[in-house]
Chains A and B, each alone.
Chain A
Amino acid sequence: MIFLLILAGGLLAQFLAEKYYEKNWSRKLKVDIRFQPEPVFQGEEGFLTEVIENDKRLFLPALQAGFVVSRNLSFGQEENTSVSDQSYKRDIFSVMGRQRIIRKVSFEAKKRGYYEIQKADLVARGILLAPELYHTIPCSTYLYVYPGKIAGEKRELLFRRITGVYESRKRLLEDPFLFRGIREYTPEDPMNKINWKASARAGSFMVNQHNSAVSGNVCILLDVEDETVWKYEEIHEEGIRLAAALAEDFLSRGIEVGLITNGRDCQEKSEIFLSGQSGRGQREKMLQCLARIDLGERSRKFSDCVEEKKDLLLAKESFCILITKNQYRELEEVMGTLGEKNQGSLCLATLYPEMELKIKSRRNLEVLRWEVKR
């Protein structure tokens, strides 16, 4: 009998210890996973903070914390990540009683987008490190990866040309009631611009300067539709980067910029539209909108999209800049109409070197080519 009681004592101790551990290991255990608060640009490095807090005396010799995040965030070779459809990251901690562990993990943002982490999975080992115990903790953190920056001489040339088109459009129609100032006469000035009183006072011919009658706002029309089953993701990504660069350029000069695209939001799944505004807030909004475009979603025909918003564009007399790889007739027509009515528009064709540019520049529609490297 005593022999049995000794064995029963051993069994009872093991059973009680295991039950106690199973019941209490996840109590007062907090796991917080946070992205850095600031957004990053594509290709830049960001960091993630993992905080494990065990606010009880019971210690956890082996605790595995794992979470899932998009594979577009690359954690590097050494950072315990297995990449398949997504990045599955897991870290192992040994947490003593009443201890907080803070771990910072750096990553490279390989692709623009909006990334979220919604839960953390915990796996602990029980008494004698034998049974696996599971627990899921919800967490909410997100990160915007803005489109990459375009730099170089090619970009400068393109932007100079776009700015030229934009400025010349402003000169075309001057409002005689919006007086801007007086300057000296040049042979190109018409006679009716001469301010005779000012000329008499100055002793030389002076001409009046007027502000433009056309609106200064810019609307970026971004087409991410694939006409065929063949996907041109690189071209669309380049288009998104161009849109971001253009928006930043115009906004930095205080010009209102809006966005119309047939790209869909990665969360809401609706088409993205941003009304024209200027200022620092608009830059963030614009970059966030561009970051959230999901190229995996099916986009509708862009000419239909522009037709829908045509009244708004005409009412605001926006200078429209279309970024597209598609060159079909309806789109050309609608851009032509917008150009004629709003005194100018611009089409930026993003194409591979071997692709042919079919749309020709004409009055009020300037067509520029931007080659995308394969």
Chain B
Amino acid sequence: MREDRILKIYGFLHLWLLAAGILFLPLYAGEGFSPETGAKLLFLAAPELVLREISVRGKKIWSYLGASLLVFALFWFLGEGILEKACFLSGAVFFMILFFWQRLTGNREAFFRPSYVCLLFFALEYIFTLFYDLGKLGNVFLIVAGGYWLLILWSRNREHFLGYCGDYERLYRFPRQGIAYGSRLMLIFLTVFTAGCMALLPVLGIDRGILAVLALIRRGLAILLSGTGEEETPQELPQEEMGPQPMLPETGEAASPFLTALWDILEKLLMLAVILGTLVGICALFYWLYKKYNSQASENGDILEDLESSGMETREKIKRKVSFLSPFLKGRTPRARIRRAYKQKLERLGKPSSLASPEELEDQAGLSPGEKREEFHRLYEKARYGNIPCTQEEAKRMGKLERVDFF
């Protein structure tokens, strides 16, 4: 399979960053670092490129050894001091051994793709700089680590994209360009978001907050473990100091580190929200302009249409019916009383059928026709099916009618 060009670039970048990062530390620690040395570190890309290409393409081992010797000679003459020469040569040796080993094993991808494990090197170097109090170098490693993380993301994205295309490219009307475009767009968003989060977390001063919390826990544990907490008697304060203590420290007194950190975080969060809002607004404007001029297209025989968001659409939540009346009060309403009276009347005269209409029920119960039955029927129908609320008078009237003998 043909090697992907972009993945290859990522691979070279990864190896160069790793090698340069490793060599950067002894050069800086040995005070042999200068801007010229930094520029010379860029030349490390040359042996990387040459040795790998010969390792992959070269038929004979002599060409590889010859190229290695040339590279050694180049870096020997390039280095100025003994430290610089040693560093450059060790970089070249590292590449030589690495690609030679790759050629022997036949595994081209070994050490040639960015991985999370390599972040450990940067972590170790950062710890080293902290230990020896090399502040500026530490910051460089922080930036390199962040960049390397993004490199891992891009590399993974490219690998997955190629894998996906490899799996499905033989399908008819496979939208390779569309997928590449969408994937790239998503990667840009993710890169911006990741960079934002990487920058945000240290700037927020969360570390200070965490340290304050850790200090608090440590103090608490110290008190608990010392065993003196229970034996201590409360200190007697003078009467004038027994009053309520203010939250804020008095003039001249240092503010609580936790509160200071918290305020700092809030302030920075607010600033960041404004910046992010502005950025999102600008992006949205560009996106809108782009969509406006690309509303319909045809691709692979498919019709691609842009959907307009309908401003007329409204969404309403269905309100849950809330009844404020308790079951006890519900049974006391005129409507309930009328229905209960009707039921009692019919049940007294026999078990009513569940399938019959009110009129049929009355016939079955043997209520003789007449004005009172009509009124009895009308009041029930109003209570059962009517939309108008029943009055107390009607309920009373129903109560009276229930006692009437219709026979």
Within 8 Å CB of A12, what residues of B?
A: 197, 201
B73 within 8 A of A: no
Pairs of residues from A and B, 6 with the lowest C-beta to C-beta distance, nearest first: A61-B182, A94-B178, A9-B198, A9-B197, A129-B160, A13-B197
A60 within 8 A of B: yes
B72 within 8 A of A: no
One of B51-59, B301-309, B324-332 at the interface: B301-309
B115 within 8 A of A: no
Does B198 lie within 8 Å of A127, measured CB to CB?
no
CA distance A147 to B206 in the complex (A): 75
A92 within 8 A of B: yes
Task: Using A5-B206, A90-B171 as known contacts, list a sample of 4 further A-B pairs with CB atoms less than 8 Å apart, ordered by residue number in A.
Answer: A14-B153, A94-B175, A103-B301, A125-B164
Residues of chain B from 184 to 205 with CB closer than 8 A to chain A in the complex: 185-187, 189-190, 193-194, 196-202
CA distance A90 to B182 in the complex (A): 20
Does A6 lie within 8 Å of B146, measured CB to CB?
yes
Does A130 lie within 8 Å of B160, measured CB to CB?
yes
Does B171 lie within 8 Å of A99, measured CB to CB?
no
Does A125 lie within 8 Å of B160, measured CB to CB?
yes
A86 within 8 A of B: no
Taking A6-B146, A13-B190 as contacts, is the C-beta distance between A80 and B172 under 8 angstroms? yes
A1 within 8 A of B: yes
Min Cβ gap A360→B in Å is: 57
Min Cβ gap B144→A in Å is: 11
Q: Which residue from chain A places its CB closest to the CB of B208 in the assembled complex?
A: A1
CA distance A9 to B146 in the complex (A): 10
- Interface of chain A, helix or strand or loop or mixed? mixed
A158 within 8 A of B: no
Min Cβ gap B7→A in Å is: 14
Taking A13-B194, A94-B178, A94-B182 as contacts, is the C-beta distance between A78 and B200 under 8 angstroms? no
Residues of chain B from 202 to 254 with CB closer than 8 A to chain A in the complex: 202, 206-207, 210-211
Taking A1-B210, A2-B207, A130-B156 as contacts, is the C-beta distance between A61 and B179 under 8 angstroms? yes
Does B145 lie within 8 Å of A7, measured CB to CB?
yes
Per-position 1/0 for A47-78, Cβ under 8 A of B: 00000011100011110100000000000001
Does A98 lie within 8 Å of B182, measured CB to CB?
no
B200 partner, pick from A9, A96, A129, beta carbons under 8 A = A9
B348 within 8 A of A: no
Min Cβ gap B129→A in Å is: 10
Taking A10-B197, A12-B201 as contacts, is the C-beta distance between A128 and B142 under 8 angstroms? no
Does B175 lie within 8 Å of A6, measured CB to CB?
no
CA distance A93 to B174 in the complex (A): 7
Would you list 13 pairs from A and B whose C-beta atoms are within 8 A, ordered by A residue?
A6-B142, A7-B119, A9-B198, A9-B201, A10-B197, A16-B193, A61-B181, A93-B178, A94-B175, A94-B182, A100-B304, A103-B302, A129-B164
Within 8 Å CB of B194, what residues of A?
A: 9-10, 13-14
Does B190 lie within 8 Å of A92, measured CB to CB?
no
Within 8 Å CB of A90, what residues of B?
A: 171
Per-position 1/0 for A1-28, Cβ under 8 A of B: 1110111111011101100000000000
Taking A55-B307, A92-B174, A99-B307 as contacts, is the C-beta distance between A62 and B164 under 8 angstroms? yes
Does B309 lie within 8 Å of A98, measured CB to CB?
yes
Does B198 lie within 8 Å of A79, measured CB to CB?
no
Within 8 Å CB of A96, what residues of B?
A: 178, 182, 304
Does A60 lie within 8 Å of B146, measured CB to CB?
no
Does B305 lie within 8 Å of A61, measured CB to CB?
no
Number of interface residues, chain B, beta carbon within 8 A: 56
Within 8 Å CB of A93, what residues of B?
A: 175, 178, 302
Within 8 Å CB of B141, what residues of A?
A: 3
Within 8 Å CB of A100, what residues of B?
A: 304-307
B187 partner, pick from A6, A92, A103, A128, beta carbons under 8 A = A128
Min Cβ gap A40→B in Å is: 21
B291 within 8 A of A: yes
Min Cβ gap B268→A in Å is: 14
Q: Which residue from chain B places its CB closest to the CB of A54 in the assembled complex?
A: B307
Q: Which residue from chain B places its CB closest to the CB of A93 in the assembled complex?
A: B175
CA distance A137 to B202 in the complex (A): 44
CA distance A54 to B142 in the complex (A): 40
Does B172 lie within 8 Å of A79, measured CB to CB?
yes
A101 within 8 A of B: yes
Within 8 Å CB of A3, what residues of B?
A: 122-123, 126-127, 141-142, 145
Does B202 lie within 8 Å of A2, measured CB to CB?
yes
B263 within 8 A of A: no
CA distance A62 to B301 in the complex (A): 18
Min Cβ gap A8→B in Å is: 6
Q: Which residue from chain A places its CB closest to the CB of B191 in the assembled complex?
A: A13
Min Cβ gap B391→A in Å is: 51
CA distance A328 to B213 in the complex (A): 96
Taking A6-B146, A101-B303 as contacts, is the C-beta distance between A91 and B201 under 8 angstroms? no
Does A61 lie within 8 Å of B210, measured CB to CB?
no
CA distance A178 to B274 in the complex (A): 97
Per-position 1/0 for A99-118, Cβ under 8 A of B: 11111100000000000000
Within 8 Å CB of B161, what residues of A?
A: 129
CA distance A239 to B25 in the complex (A): 88
Min Cβ gap B266→A in Å is: 18
Does B171 lie within 8 Å of A92, measured CB to CB?
yes
Within 8 Å CB of A55, what residues of B?
A: 307, 309
Min Cβ gap A140→B in Å is: 23
Within 8 Å CB of A61, what residues of B?
A: 178-179, 181-183, 185-186
CA distance A92 to B178 in the complex (A): 10
Within 8 Å CB of A130, what residues of B?
A: 156, 160
Per-position 1/0 for B154-171, Cβ under 8 A of A: 001100110110001001
Taking A10-B149, A13-B193, A130-B160 as contacts, is the C-beta distance between A92 and B304 under 8 angstroms? no
Taking A62-B164, A92-B174, A102-B302 as contacts, is the C-beta distance between A6 and B182 under 8 angstroms? no
Min Cβ gap A138→B in Å is: 22
Q: Which residue from chain B places its CB closest to the CB of A21 in the assembled complex?
A: B186
B173 within 8 A of A: yes
Within 8 Å CB of A99, what residues of B?
A: 304-307
Residues of chain A from 202 to 236 with CB closer than 8 A to chain B in the complex: none
Q: Which residue from chain B places its CB closest to the CB of A98 in the assembled complex?
A: B307
Does A129 lie within 8 Å of B303, measured CB to CB?
no
Does A1 lie within 8 Å of B207, measured CB to CB?
yes
Does A14 lie within 8 Å of B198, measured CB to CB?
no
Within 8 Å CB of B201, what residues of A?
A: 5-6, 8-9, 12
Q: Which residue from chain A places its CB closest to the CB of B196 in the assembled complex?
A: A13
Within 8 Å CB of A79, what residues of B?
A: 172
CA distance A61 to B189 in the complex (A): 13
Min Cβ gap B312→A in Å is: 14
Does A127 lie within 8 Å of B190, measured CB to CB?
yes
Does B207 lie within 8 Å of A5, measured CB to CB?
yes
Interface centre among A14, A17, A61 (most CB of B within 10 A): A61
Min Cβ gap B306→A in Å is: 6
